[in-house]
Structure 1
Amino acid sequence: MRFDAPVLLYGAGREAASTRAFLKATQPELKVFVTVDSGTADIADAEQIAPAELPSAIAERRFGTIVKSPGVSLYKPVFETARNAGVAITSNLNLWGATYRHGRTVIAITGTKGKSTTATLTHLILARSGIDTGLAGNVGLAPLDIADKHAVVVFELSSYQTADMNFLPDIAALTNLYPEHVDWHGSVERYYADKLHLVDRDGSFAVALGAAARGNALVAHAVRDHRRLLRDLTPEEERAIEHAASHSRLRGAHNLDNARLAAQIALGAGATLDGILQGIAAFRPLPHRLEEHVFGTMTVVNDSISTTPEATKAALAAYPARRIALIAGGHERQQDYAELATLLAQRGVTTLATLPVTGARLAAACREVAPDIEIIEAPDLDAALTQLAQRRSRFDTIILSPGAPSYNQFKNFEERGALFVQRCKELFS
């Protein structure tokens, strides 16, 4: 794919750096601009344009294409201005599709939660089955970095990426569907539509659905033709997967569902049962997702990647028969914490430490339905842990599973998780 006019990179993260490297390799003389809404635009060989200057730059046709990073909302008014002026909007993923899609098998996996684990398992299973496979998207490499290196590519995709994905996969998979990312999409309805865009299209691709997606009416409508669905696992396969998962590092019923879905996807792409069992055995938890540590006598679980109440429910269910201190709360996205509050006591939570902003709503809901749970409303994570250290006799397990993004207090969930583990090590070792 070649560009006849300069290109603007909107965003300066991992995908923007990948796109810049691709453009440098394919069109060394191409003029490239970069803009960011916040932070630094640290992209080599790119001229910076301030966001306030974009309308005039579009009117002057200083660039012909905008390559948007996933974190930048597709619904920013500037993109409508660009389209009206004839400026194309694309992405690292779509550039991969235009350049490398032909001749490869593409597996695209999305869902509100579980997509990273499912994609990682699918990749492991295919590799252990002797199939040349790469992993890209939110885990693994940026799409353009994986290029044409593998015959099969597994993409783990967020709703930010599925919203404007313009090529078809060979297998599309959806783990589940819950409200999320309303600030990016503008509404829950648009989030659902953008997430389901992966499957809600014409084409002869196959579809695999996780256990929580199968009973969803919106998902069923998006699938359109249920002859698209991959075959169910056989009883023999189900038993073998359950046995393998019980002896692996996959924790909780939700991860067994992820293993079943990954196996179904991989079988659809030519995997073997032996490859499935080896892939499950080889799985290692992703950083910040049920990442378990033991400091002194305290089990510490870093689930900082949890950004939805559903993810927090799954984290608690993965630790039955424990006395739990839960740390939850973060950036506001209008999510409903009422059901989570009703589950805390039965999941073994003795102490709840809440963080701004959403923690206030969870604390209020918990007081209503579980008055025996001690509640600490802390201003930040460090204060929450300091207060928990003074109450350590009340619990044997501390779980950071915020059920909300981190942006109001941290740069990202990785920073939040790293601080949590470091402070727990200092306080409980």
Structure 2
Amino acid sequence: MRFDAPVLLYGAGKEALSTRAFLKASQPDLKVFVAVDSGTADIAETEQIAIADLPDAMATGRFGLIVKSPGVSRYKPIFETARSHGIAVTSNLNLWGSTFRRGRTVIAITGTKGKSTTATLTHLMLVQSRIDAGLAGNVGLAPLDIADKHQVVIFELSSYQTADMDFLPDVAAITNLYPEHVDWHGSVERYYADKLHLVDRDGPLTVALGAAAKGNALVARAVRDHRRLLRDLTPEEALAIENASAHSRLRGAHNLDNALLAAQIALAVGGTMDGVLRGIAAFRPLPHRLEEHRLAALTIVDDSISTTPEATKAALAAYPGRRIALIVGGHEREQDYAELAGLLHGRGVTTLATLPVTGLRLAQQVRAAAPQIEVVEAPTLEDAISALAGLRTRFDTLILSPGAPSYNQFKNFEQRGDRFVALCREHFAESAA
């Protein structure tokens, strides 16, 4: 690939660093600019352009292509301005597609929840089947970093990435579909359309659907033709996977669904049943996804990845028969928590600590729906853990499953999860001694 004009990187995260390295390797003398919505851009051999100066830079033709990072919404007006000046907008993923796609088997997995676990399981199953497979996207490497290293590439993709993905995978999988990321997409309807763009396209494409996606009318319309769907697992295959999952580190019915979906994909691209079962056995929970820690008799569960009410429901379902203290709340994305409020008592929640901003709404709903639950409204995670330490006799399991993003108090869900575990060790250390 040859670039005939300077390139602008919009965003300065992992993918921007990957794109800069790719441009340096393919065209060392290429001029590269970078722009960020806030802060500074620490990317070597780039020149920063202030956001306010972008319209003039576009009008004068300072660069001919924008490579947008996933976290930057494609619906920002500046990108329409760019197109009006004939400046294309692309992504790290699409650059991979135009450079390395040909001759490879590509599996793309998306969904509101479960996509990281499903992609990781698919990768393990294929590797254990002795297939040369690599994992990239939101887990693993950035797309351009995986380059041409593997014959089979599994991409775990967010709605930010599927929105403008311009090449077809061989297999596209959807785990489920719930409202999320409305702030980035502008509306729930646009979120659904951008997510389903992975499959709602012309061309040869096979599709695998998770249990929750199969009954979704929007997904069915996007698939278009049921003949695109991969074959179902046989009852014998499904039973073997269920048995293997029960003896693995996969916890909860939702993770069994992820394993069944991953197996369906792996078998479709040449994996073996033995490899599938070995892949399940080799699975280790991903950080901040129902990640368990033991403090004597207390089970601590870091599910900071949970950014939707549906994810919180799945976390609670993974711990039947427990007396649960649940921490919820975070950045507002206008999600509906009424159903979650109504099922907390039935799922074993005895104590609820809520965080701003969404926690305020849930606290009110829970007090009305389940007055027997002790509700603590806390301004910070530190305050929530401190309050729960004083209510220790009410629970044997403490779960952080916020059902909301972290951006109002933390940089990301990883920082939130790490802080949760550290605070638990601090406040519950005496009970662990």
Deviations 1:383-404 (A, max 9, x none): 0000000110000110000000
State, as a whole percentage, how many aligned pairs show the same letter: 79
Q: What secondary structure is seen at the aligned counterpart in 1 of 2:207?
A: strand
Contact 1:136 1:153 in 2 (8 A): yes
| 1:24 pairs with 2:2 | no
Amino acid in the other structure paired with 1:223: V
What is the match of residue 77 of structure 1? 77
Contact 1:296 1:428 in 2 (8 A): no
Deviation for aligned residue 1:2: 1.4
Deviation for aligned residue 1:238: 0.6
CA–CA separation in structure 1 for the residues paired with 2:211 and 2:394? 35
What is the match of residue 304 of structure 2? 304
CA–CA separation in structure 1 for the residues paired with 2:162 and 2:53? 29
Deviations 1:297-338 (A, max 9, x none): 211000001000000000000011000000000000000000
Amino acid in the other structure paired with 1:199: V
CA–CA separation in structure 2 for the residues paired with 1:129 and 1:90? 35
What is the match of residue 221 of structure 1? 221
CA–CA separation in structure 2 for the residues paired with 1:160 and 1:246? 33
What is the match of residue 136 of structure 2? 136
What is the match of residue 268 of structure 2? 268
Amino acid in the other structure paired with 2:143: P
Q: What secondary structure is seen at the aligned counterpart in 1 of 2:150?
A: coil
| 1:208 pairs with 2:208 | yes
What is the match of residue 183 of structure 1? 183
Q: What secondary structure is seen at the aligned counterpart in 1 of 2:155?
A: strand
Match runs of 1:80-91 below 5 Å: 80-91=80-91
Query: Where do 5+ consecutive residues of structure 2 fail to align?
Result: none
Amino acid in the other structure paired with 1:104: R
Deviation for aligned residue 1:342: 0.7
CA–CA separation in structure 2 for the residues paired with 1:253 and 1:54? 49
Deviation for aligned residue 1:426: 1.0
Q: What secondary structure is seen at the aligned counterpart in 2 of 1:359?
A: helix
Amino acid in the other structure paired with 1:217: A
**TM-score, structure 1 normalization:** 1.00
Amino acid in the other structure paired with 2:234: T
Match runs of 1:392-403 below 5 Å: 392-403=392-403
Deviation for aligned residue 1:141: 0.3
| 1:380 pairs with 2:380 | yes
Match runs of 1:103-114 below 5 Å: 103-114=103-114
CA–CA separation in structure 2 for the residues paired with 1:263 and 1:200? 23
| 1:101 pairs with 2:101 | yes
CA–CA separation in structure 2 for the residues paired with 1:69 and 1:2? 20
What is the match of residue 149 of structure 1? 149
Amino acid in the other structure paired with 1:401: S
What is the match of residue 417 of structure 2? 417
Amino acid in the other structure paired with 2:71: G
CA–CA separation in structure 2 for the residues paired with 1:343 and 1:60? 58
What is the match of residue 57 of structure 1? 57
CA–CA separation in structure 1 for the residues paired with 2:185 and 2:120? 26
What is the match of residue 316 of structure 2? 316
Deviation for aligned residue 1:296: 2.6
CA–CA separation in structure 2 for the residues paired with 1:38 and 1:130? 45
What is the match of residue 252 of structure 1? 252
Q: What secondary structure is seen at the aligned counterpart in 1 of 2:322?
A: coil
Q: What secondary structure is seen at the aligned counterpart in 2 of 1:154?
A: strand
Query: Where do 5+ consecutive residues of structure 1 fail to align?
Result: none
Deviation for aligned residue 1:62: 0.5
Amino acid in the other structure paired with 1:242: E
What is the match of residue 66 of structure 1? 66
CA–CA separation in structure 1 for the residues paired with 2:61 and 2:305? 40
Amino acid in the other structure paired with 1:296: A
CA–CA separation in structure 1 for the residues paired with 2:89 and 2:364? 43
Contact 1:55 1:78 in 2 (8 A): yes
Amino acid in the other structure paired with 2:405: P
Name the stretch that deviates more: 84-93 or 33-42.
Answer: 33-42
Deviation for aligned residue 1:40: 2.4
Amino acid in the other structure paired with 1:214: K
**TM-score, structure 2 normalization:** 0.99
Contact 1:311 1:403 in 2 (8 A): yes
CA–CA separation in structure 2 for the residues paired with 1:38 and 1:323? 43
Deviation for aligned residue 1:357: 0.2
Amino acid in the other structure paired with 2:292: E
CA–CA separation in structure 1 for the residues paired with 2:305 and 2:218? 26
Deviation for aligned residue 1:376: 0.4
